[in-house]
């Protein structure tokens, strides 16, 4: 290694239809990151061979729904003394032969810590991403504050982290659950150059996100 969450505020759940398989939510998330967004393996498997952002083999349903992808991973801890957010854990691919990777910052929900999101860490990193699960300054921070903290974590990951040389600053995404998802929406509205925003059952007092240009999943 280098160097039961309490219920979140209720929000309406949206769905695009019945879920026919147990892995469907993870499948959508992984495909959003590895295929449609193009911040790691390309915009579509058929064109991956021509895409300079390709990392690892072309994604398949089997590969993106697996517990681990093709890359071995490791972690580095980030101290809460770093300004702007509450510290966290960076998960990254150990293979440096393929260049840089897209970066993803993930924020937890209301009253929760980064550990409630930690199961995403190795799983997404092993698909060819640098993943940063963060703690917030307090567990009671509201979405706008969480969005600012996600923003600070993105900058830290790209500019100052121990794995900054592995991160492509032009291929960044944000995720979050509940108020962390609201924070992901907030920073997506303020940072349109992001490649993807993945709000998981997001909670935010704002109900109109029509100005968000970032691809949302």
Residue range 35-77, pLDDT digits in tens: 434 444 433 444 445 678 888 888 888 888 889 999 999 999 9
For residue 187, what pLDDT is reported?
Answer: 97
Q: 152 is written with which tokens?
A: 């600070």
Q: Residue 179: which CATH number? A: 3.40.50.1820
- Of all residues in the chain, what percent carry a pLDDT higher than 70? 76
Is the distance from CB of 61 to CB of 27 less than 8 angstroms?
Answer: yes
Asked whether the predicted pLDDT for residue 31 surpasses 70, the reply is no
Report pLDDT digits (tens) over 137-186: 999 999 999 999 999 999 999 999 999 999 999 999 999 999 999 999 99
For residue 216, what pLDDT is reported?
Answer: 76
Residue 175 domain flag: yes
Which alpha helices (H) appear in the chain, and where do they start and end?
24-31, 61-64, 119-125, 143-159, 179-190
Cα–Cα distance between 96 and 91 in angstroms, integer?
Answer: 14
Residue 210 domain flag: no
Cα dist from 192 to 37, 38, 215, whole Å:
14, 16, 9
Q: Which residue range(s) make up the domain with 186?
A: 68-200
In which element (H, E) is residue 98 found? none
Residue 178 domain flag: yes
Please give the tally of structural domains in the chain.
1
Residue 6 domain flag: no
């Amino acid at each position: 290694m280098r160097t039961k969450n309490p219920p979140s505020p209720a929000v309406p759940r949206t769905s695009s239809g019945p879920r026919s398989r147990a892995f469907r939510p993870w499948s959508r998330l992984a495909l959003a990151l590895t295929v449609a967004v193009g911040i790691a393996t390309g915009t579509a498997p058929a064109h991956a061979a021509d895409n300079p952002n390709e990392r690892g083999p072309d994604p398949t349903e089997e590969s993106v729904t697996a517990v681990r992808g093709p890359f071995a991973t490791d972690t580095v801890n980030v101290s809460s003394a770093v300004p702007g957010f509450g510290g966290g854990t960076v998960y990254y691919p150990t293979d440096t032969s393929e260049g840089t990777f897209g970066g993803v910052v993930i924020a937890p929900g209301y009253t929760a810590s980064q550990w409630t999101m930690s199961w995403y860490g190795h799983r997404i990193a092993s698909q060819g991403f640098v993943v940063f699960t963060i703690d917030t300054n307090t567990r009671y921070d509201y979405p706008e504050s969480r969005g600012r903290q996600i923003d600070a974590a993105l900058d830290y990951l790209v500019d100052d982290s121990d794995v900054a040389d592995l991160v492509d600053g032009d291929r960044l995404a944000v995720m979050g659950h509940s108020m962390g998802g609201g924070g992901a929406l907030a920073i997506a509205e303020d940072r349109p150059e992001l490649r993807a925003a993945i709000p998981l059952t997001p909670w935010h007092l704002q109900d109109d996100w029509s100005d968000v240009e970032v691809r949302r999943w």
